[in-house]
Amino acid sequence: MAWQFGRGYSSCPMSAAETSDNSPQGKTDFGKTDFGGTDFGFRRVSEEEKAPLVRAVFDSVAARYDLMNDLMSGGIHRLWKAEMVAWLNPRPGQRLLDVAGGTGDIARRALPRLAPDAGGRIVVCDANWQMVETGRARALDDGILRGIEWLCGDAEQLPFADRSFDLYTIAFGLRNVTRIERALAEARRVLKPGGRFLCLEFTPAVTPLLQPLYDLYSFRVLPLLGQIVTGDREAYTYLVGSIRRFPSQSALSGLIEAAGLGRARFRNLTGGIAALHSAWRL
């Protein structure tokens, strides 16, 4: 079933060992300055401006979002997502909330482990209705008729009761929220005690040996590829900026802990291009 603001209708990574870092630098309050505002790529915008700007980006690329992910990562994003679900280790009968779930990549991988026949359920919640519609349509085309609900909603103000879910995932979506600390607080709120939080996200710096090539690819190749495939160069210029302005792994671990989620850990993937962050609702 898909819902939009209360209206519904049916429907090989290289992993480092788990790392913990609760150093003072991890406590930085990202997204704020003395004069207010937040980051939109490399630009500073008001907090009120960011959400509509992000929605416009994903409206533009929704139809070719998965294709672009395959091209720009050489398919490695699929391995990262498989690693995410393996570390999450969902069990039959659990309820999973996949925030910024977009086209349903994480939900589709997790669904067999949750066993809908045993009561397992997934809610895919994304702020962009075009992304939700794309994911729902592809699931229906593949014969996935039950076990997943599709909803358009805000990661910073989730439309769910407290302690509603056993598992919370967010893949490549935390960079796009206006206030990271609010999204993390909402994740804690909707998780049951003992519930698991898992975030997959790009990181602002990679292994030093990869950095020159990564910079060349990020600033020259990726925007051009975005222009050719989606017709929107600016969307992928924004992507590069959003990655570079995002907290480091240790800083994000600090923000996760500050939100009240415990035992924060992270694993670097593919030379630190991306990382998995795990925590628990204790």
- Average pLDDT by stretches of 10, the chain with 282 residues: 34 43 39 54 65 65 70 87 97 97 92 95 93 90 92 95 98 92 98 98 88 87 82 79 90 97 96 96 94
What was the pLDDT predicted at 264?
97
Kindly report the pTM of this predicted structure: 0.81
pLDDT of residue 62: 64
pLDDT in tens, 142-156: 999 899 999 999 999
Cα separation values, 81 from 94, 104, 265, 277, Å: 19, 11, 17, 13
| Mean confidence (pLDDT) of the chain | 83
Nearest to 16 by CA among 197, 274, 280: 274
- The C-alpha atoms of residue 50 and residue 152 are separated, in whole angstroms, by 17
Tell me the C-alpha distance between 165 and 122, whole Å. 9
> What residue type is 184 in one-letter code?
L
Measured between alpha carbons, how far is 280 from 260 in angstroms, rounded to an integer? 9
In whole angstroms, give the CA distance from residue 71 to residue 116: 32
Q: Check: CB of residue 38 under 8 Å from CB of residue 216.
A: no
d(CA 233, CA 237): 6
Q: Give the domains, in start order, of the chain with CATH numbers.
A: 23-281 (3.40.50.150)
**Residue 25, pLDDT score:** 37
Q: Tell me the per-residue pLDDT of 31-83, one tens digit each, with 9 for 90 and over.
A: 443 445 776 566 665 676 667 666 666 666 666 677 777 877 888 999 999 99
